[in-house]
Structure 1
Amino acid sequence: MVYPTPPDAPLVASGVTQSYRRRGPAVLDGCSFAVPAGVVCGLVGPNGAGKSTVLELAAGLRPVTSGTVEVFGGAARAGHPRVSYLAQHRPLHQRLTVTETLRLGARLNAGNWDAALAARVADPARFHRRDRIAELSGGERTRIALALALGKRADLLLLDEPMADLDVLARQELMGLLMAHVADTGATVVMSSHIVAELADACDHLLLLDGGTVRLCGDVEELIAAHAVVTLPGGPGRLSGHTVIESRPAGRGTSALIRPAGPLPGDWEVRPPSLEELALAHLTAARHPALSKEPAA
């Protein structure tokens, strides 16, 4: 499927295939997508889908095997002044204290550092001034790493599983800070997760990956509006003419997620899908093509 490239898109990938070994399987296989400016994009897919690889390429940390990845109209490169990247393994200097880590962030991003924002995210009052990074829990290290990422005040934030190590309260607090930062600055965010529901309330754009391939990409509201969950009496033959993403028996009838090609019969139950239903149906269809059906010619 070809997706249009919005003007001034801060992140554009064209035909990207990525392998880590010369004869090994491709981690990404011909990926093309564009992330519009100012959106919070949920980069979603199962483990091994290629999410971290996409973010590493966008951050300029790996050379592209084939194809192109452009950031703000130029080739992706490490240390881009308008890009901030939070890696999944949270690479921090283990011997530094929390205070020293924040000071280092300020020095590395001199002239573009928001000390107040970094302090709100890190909340250094919760740590002893002698606490070293190596002594912190996974969730505490995530908090400090996210403080460094946001403190840079970048125009493009690349966040790899940013909430994975946080408890429910910390996740809610830091997601709120992130959304307030986006509203204040207009920054573009690409945030990965393998849990769709975790991003449903925060994201207005979706990039769905599976097996190194783009399965779905676009504005969340538009994608949901283009689909419908239907329950109907009778078999799947009544779905003819519509694009069936996934269908299955439901009692004496059929339940399906479809792209309607026109008005739907009055005896069908129709509702919009949730973001999670939409993503799971497209993933299922990709792995089990017999459950889906293109419209009849």
Structure 2
Amino acid sequence: MQTLHAEKLTKRYGRRAALLDCDLAVPSGHIVGLVGPNGAGKSTLLKLACGLIRPTSGTLEVLGSVGFVAQDTPVYASFSVADHLRMGDWLNPAWDAALAERRVAEVGLDPAQKAGRLSGGQRAQLALTLAAAKRPDLLILDEPAAALDPLARDAFLRSLVGFVRELGAGAVLSSHLLGDIAQVCDYLIVLGAGRVQVAGPVRQLLADHRPATLEELVLDYMSRAVAR
């Protein structure tokens, strides 16, 4: 069974190709790291996977339902934490209220606190809780921890791993922070110039490119994309 399956996936914005003839076959049960330089097509791929935009050509299939956390971890500033949970319950038939309330308590969020007064790390934790409480088959996260300090980022990543284990879900994490990818991801996709440069289990890729580190492996494939 596959989390993501793409064949000749192409997305154009006018004359510019954000993705071009991409093939992917990502098996389920992984936390997938999606990396690449700015303009490589990462956000476009994630938006396609969430159904927010349509491909120009080709196909993309996603296993089951999706929970999405965007880069700016959007929440409603005037809503309290509890308001967000009530809204999630109202909008999502599969909403797991017990999971949401427990995770809010575990990360120390005050249900009465307005979201606009939360720290960046707290907003990220709230956005992740809202996505996970839908009980999706796949969590998709677009640079959710980029603006967080190291402690908040580490807490966010630990929460992500905990949700994946509890839900039995897969996850795709886009990040420029290769240390974050190395910390939690066991499958890697490198995009460059709108194409898939390499995709596979992290251990296998590192074994095939000894003695390269993950960072060296990614930078090597990025430089190859630029050189083409």
State how far apart, in whole Å, the 1-side matches of 2:164 and 2:199 are. 21
Which residue in 2 is equivalent to 1:54?
Answer: 45
Pairing 1:281–2:214 present: no
Q: 1:165 aligns with which of 147, 156, 160?
A: 147
8 Å contact kept, 1:39–1:204: yes
State how far apart, in whole Å, the 2-side matches of 1:206 and 1:122 are. 32
The Cα shift of 1:171 comes to 1.8
State how far apart, in whole Å, the 1-side matches of 2:193 and 2:52 are. 21
Higher helix proportion (structure 1 or 2): 2
State how far apart, in whole Å, the 1-side matches of 2:104 and 2:79 are. 18
Q: Please give the root-mean-square deviation of Cα atoms over the aligned residues, in Å.
A: 2.1
The Cα shift of 1:82 comes to 1.8
8 Å contact kept, 2:128–2:160: no
State how far apart, in whole Å, the 1-side matches of 2:120 and 2:41 are. 23
The Cα shift of 1:31 comes to 1.2
1:82-121 pair list within 5 angstroms: 82-117=65-100, 119-121=102-104
Which SS does the other structure have where 2:16 is aligned?
Answer: coil
8 Å contact kept, 2:72–2:144: no
8 Å contact kept, 2:36–2:191: yes
TM-score (norm. length: structure 1): 0.71
**Cα pair distance change 1:137/1:278, threshold 3 Å:** same
Which SS does the other structure have where 1:47 is aligned?
Answer: coil
**Cα pair distance change 1:82/1:103, threshold 3 Å:** same
Which residue in 2 is equivalent to 1:258?
Answer: none
8 Å contact kept, 1:161–1:193: yes
1:54-73 pair list within 5 angstroms: 54-72=45-63
8 Å contact kept, 1:19–1:65: yes
Which residue in 2 is equivalent to 1:43?
Answer: 34
1:164-203 pair list within 5 angstroms: 164-203=146-185
Pairing 1:224–2:163 present: no
CA deviation map 1:162-213 (0-9, x unaligned): 2123222222222112212222332111110122222102111000001211
8 Å contact kept, 2:34–2:190: yes
Q: Which has the higher contact order (CA 8 A, sep 6+)?
A: 2
State how far apart, in whole Å, the 2-side matches of 1:115 and 1:128 are. 14
State how far apart, in whole Å, the 1-side matches of 2:105 and 2:126 are. 5
Q: 2:114 aligns with which of 113, 121, 132?
A: 132
Amino acid at match of 1:192: S
Pairing 1:27–2:18 present: yes
CA deviation map 1:219-258 (0-9, x unaligned): 1111111112xxxxxxxxxxxxxxxxxxxxxxxxxxxxxx
The Cα shift of 1:119 comes to 4.1
The Cα shift of 1:136 comes to 3.5
Amino acid at match of 1:189: A
Pairing 1:11–2:14 present: no
The Cα shift of 1:102 comes to 1.4
The Cα shift of 1:215 comes to 0.7
8 Å contact kept, 2:78–2:115: yes
8 Å contact kept, 1:106–1:115: no
Amino acid at match of 1:84: G
Amino acid at match of 1:151: A
Which SS does the other structure have where 2:88 is aligned?
Answer: helix
Amino acid at match of 2:12: S
Amino acid at match of 1:15: K
CA deviation map 1:5-30 (0-9, x unaligned): xxx20211111111122xx3111111
Percent same amino acid at aligned positions?
A: 43
Amino acid at match of 1:104: M
Give 5+ residue unaligned stretches, structure 1: 1-7, 73-80, 229-271, 290-297
**Cα pair distance change 1:124/1:194, threshold 3 Å:** closer
- Runs of 4+ displaced beyond 6 Å: none
